A and B are shown apart, each in its own frame.
Chain A
């Protein structure tokens, strides 16, 4: 039996690497972002990308959909975007007899991978439409609910610079994202590679390495990885340390944090830890896995108080302090 399990874990690792390599052909210098996006997909969750325009966020998502042979759609969020523009609407149709009837026209959300570009530019009403889809994997139009086909994976992007006329995502919606990944400027070396690949006649082409079934199988594999209670306890303690009223709260938490991470954060850390374990050819989750995923899983779930905002404190600073000071189980 252990051989089968080992085989399963090895297959997962190979497939993950193949996806990463294929995406890497197109996207350069953001391996962590690629890994994070794939991990969020395999964790049956969603990811929020934050970065200035032009860093390849949209390209990443489209490439990912091509590599995985999944249906991809892109929604450009604007202030006048309506929920129906996302979810779809009932349209009056005529049949052959001339009788009219309402027929549901699915919106762009009916896809496997959805790029919600500049998600913070839409109104809360429209954002909430996306929220339901993300959480429930269903879309309700009128009296009917329509199930979204798995895998359903939303990549939201937001621009940290232009805050004028934006609607910051509410905490509840932020919490639904598995990870928040910060896309940084590429290094000069990476930039050379990007220029070499994108300024020639032949652009690199990616091939489809996984299908839907394989992605769903990989999701199952992730969930099967066991985690020992002490390791799980480590994740819990890190999460609890973000709560200003918790006895485990870090000093910085008490001073700068208004609201700590939700249990979804712990879920994200554990599931993310499992994926990392598999990627490292392990059948168990380690504390290092938890630490590796903790920053991405927690940074958008920790809300600063007035003092923290006034000091323009980055949540990463607090989280790094928490991770460093949370002792490993003995």
Chain B
């Protein structure tokens, strides 16, 4: 190998080594500059969970930016230095007093002399002696250690066994909306009821509810949108509602009329006891006995059926029509037709029973959805003050739902399984002892305890006054109106609901009454 080749070879090797080191250094810098962001984001996530979509968006932008920085630094670091510069640096590092630089310069020129040859020969010997491992040691830059530390920190933070810690490495992140236990319970309850209702004919409501909850948790819809959709779902549930109270009342009247016939007395008794299954059986038995009945019995049955058919109530139209047809068949002395009509009455009673059963389930589901809506709304409203109140309110909603569940109407037709139904419901299909379906957002009773001297308090001991002031200083009190115990009977509530004051006028009326209230002197 000639002197020139030796020198050039050394320079190329040094250049490559330097380039490698520079690439590592630049990579380390790029990573140590970019990695703190996800680590900080993860720390923030531990403090306040960040929803999956946000994490994905931030990390996506970060990944692009980080890639750009890394590429930029790598391109910057991978650029080859020209050999002249490399020679200068080598001279500087090895303290060679420009020997390699001079030799490289001479190697590139055509002017040769003995002295130049001698210089290059001496430089080549020096080049052979140089230890590149010492001059350009293969070191891992500190920045790479920093980057590795950050990566480790990110991994550790992801695997920290903390409640609510989501492991991003397994593509797990905080859901868009975190449902608490009470809300989840409400949803499960609603789903169960809807599934039962679906078995009785409703379609798709449970699936829609599942979809709403799923969308809410994935952040596809906001809480506000979820509330709107739940409202719509409830409206769907309430569409075509059967007025169970009215039906029950009608059945009672029908039973009274049918009781006048000795043949149908048993069926009437069953109807009056709301045992529709038994009533249907009784009608079938009566149908079987039609051939054996005397004309008097038939006349009696005809009369009672005619009277019963006159009870035209919503929901009982089909039944009363069948009774009317049966009465007509008896009048025509058509035994076969009479039998057939009585059997159809039995079928109608069974159909009515199923309809009432489904309606009961729907009502319960609607109530549960109502509680769920309320819990979500409270969670939305109280998002800033903290979750504690949210949980409390949700529990309140659950309590209500449980209470409603417990109050399954006493007038559910016997023998209709565990499916609930309502009794004494108002015309809109609501059970009277439950609140009427609300219009608009849930009402909140915002009580601001202000520091004012009340006449009643003024005469009492000072401690009560102190308590009031203390409450006022602490925070605004929010109470759900449903939690206020009411002394009204279901019937009274029914009346109130039937004559509900339009929502928008309530404040006005309240102000009116306050204005006309007799003023008390302090």
Contact = CB atoms under 8 A, between A and B. Distances in A.
Given A226-B106, A287-B98, 18 more contacts: A1-B118, A2-B118, A6-B118, A6-B122, A224-B115, A225-B115, A226-B119, A228-B98, A229-B105, A230-B102, A231-B102, A283-B118, A283-B122, A284-B99, A284-B119, A284-B123, A329-B101, A330-B88
Interface centre among A4, A226, A284, A329 (most CB of B within 10 A): A284
Contacts of B89: 330
B118 A328 contact: no
A1 B117 contact: yes
B88 A226 contact: no
A214 interface: no
A5 B119 CA distance: 9
Contact of B102 (A5, A224, A228): A228
Contacts of B85: 330
Nearest to A5: B118
16 contacts: A1-B118, A2-B114, A4-B114, A226-B115, A226-B116, A228-B98, A228-B102, A280-B97, A283-B118, A284-B103, A286-B102, A287-B98, A288-B98, A289-B97, A330-B88, A330-B89
B173 to A, nearest CB: 52
B84 interface: yes
Per CB-CB distance, the 5 closest pairs between chain A and chain B, nearest first, are A5-B118, A2-B118, A286-B97, A228-B105, A286-B98
Nearest to A224: B115
Contacts of A227: 102
A282 interface: yes
A56 B206 CA distance: 115
Contacts of B97: 280, 282, 286-289
B117 A330 contact: no
A272 B60 CA distance: 64
Contact of B105 (A2, A224, A230, A280): A230
Contacts of B98: 228, 231, 284-288
Interface in B86-116: 88-89, 97-99, 101-103, 105-106, 109, 113-116
A1 B105 contact: no
Nearest to B112: A226
Contacts of B404: none
Contacts of A286: 97-99, 102
B121 interface: yes
Contacts of B88: 328-330
Contacts of A4: 114
Contacts of A226: 102, 106, 113, 115-116, 119
Contact of B99 (A6, A230, A282): A282
Contacts of A283: 115, 118-119, 122
Contacts of A228: 98, 101-102, 105-106
A52 B263 CA distance: 156
Contacts of A280: 97
Contacts of A330: 84-85, 88-89
Interface string B208-232: 0000000000000000000000000
A187 B506 CA distance: 109
Nearest to B114: A1
B123 to A, nearest CB: 8
Interface centre among B84, B88, B98, B105 (most CB of A within 10 A): B98
Interface in A1-26: 1-2, 4-6
Nearest to A4: B114
Contacts of B101: 228, 230-231, 329
A230 B108 CA distance: 12
Nearest to A328: B88
Interface in A113-146: none
B95 to A, nearest CB: 10
Contact of B121 (A2, A230, A282, A287): A2
Interface string A265-302: 00000000000000010111111110000000000000
A230 B101 CA distance: 9
Contacts of B117: 1-2, 5
B4 to A, nearest CB: 14
Contacts of B105: 228-230
Nearest to B104: A228
B358 to A, nearest CB: 90
Nearest to B92: A328
B114 to A, nearest CB: 5
A144 B101 CA distance: 50
Contact of A2 (B84, B102, B109, B122): B122
Contact of A5 (B84, B103, B114, B123): B114
Contacts of A289: 97
A224 B116 CA distance: 9
A172 to B, nearest CB: 34
Contacts of B122: 2, 6, 283
